[in-house]
Copies of this chain bind each other. A is one copy, B any other.
Amino acid sequence: MIGRLNHVAIAVPDLEAAAAQYRDTLGASVGAPQDEPDHGVTVVFIELPNTKIELLYPLGEDSPIRGFLDKNPSGGIHHVCYEVDDILVARDRLKSQGARVLGSGEPKIGAHGKPVLFLHPKDFNGCLVELEQV
């Protein structure tokens, strides 16, 4: 069911410094910051040859990243995103097997303009999983 790893997201306490480190120290291809107000984050995508790293920084007071950074002030790996062909089919299959979908359970439009859902980390080895329909 799951396809490609779309991205790994890393929450960072200083977006500019993290982007500069990936560009200058690690020599990767780093994009421009994009505000995603619907998700409460500013993101920078790092293009690797086979997938992307998504640097996440809080946007707004209700950002879901803020609590994570309070607990992990240096930052940390926040989630992985797997691609699926049909997000509603994937959701219903996962729910039928007992996995919990976060929020309303309905897909939102993610940073790539495509429908996304998040699955409860307690159901996936402590790992927050995003599904993105591609």
Interface size counted on chain A using CB atoms at 8 A: 41
Number of copies: 2
Question: By the criterion CB–CB under 8 Å, are B27 and A76 in contact?
Answer: no
A97: which B residues are within 8 A, CB to CB? 25
Q: Does A21 contact B (CB under 8 A)?
A: yes
Complex Cα–Cα for A125 and B74 (A): 5
A42 to chain B, nearest CB (A): 14
Chain A interface mostly helix, strand, loop or mixed?
loop
A125: which B residues are within 8 A, CB to CB? 10-13, 18, 21, 55, 74-76
Complex Cα–Cα for A30 and B21 (A): 34
Complex Cα–Cα for A26 and B12 (A): 29
Q: Does A82 contact B (CB under 8 A)?
A: yes
Q: Known contacts A74-B125, A127-B77; decide if A8 and B10 are in contact (CB<8 Å).
A: no
Q: Known contacts A82-B26, A125-B13; decide if A4 and B48 are in contact (CB<8 Å).
A: yes
Question: By the criterion CB–CB under 8 Å, are B127 and A10 in contact?
Answer: yes
A13 to chain B, nearest CB (A): 7
Complex Cα–Cα for A12 and B21 (A): 30
Shortest 7 CB-CB contacts between residues of A and residues of B: A1-B27, A75-B125, A74-B126, A76-B126, A75-B126, A77-B77, A12-B125
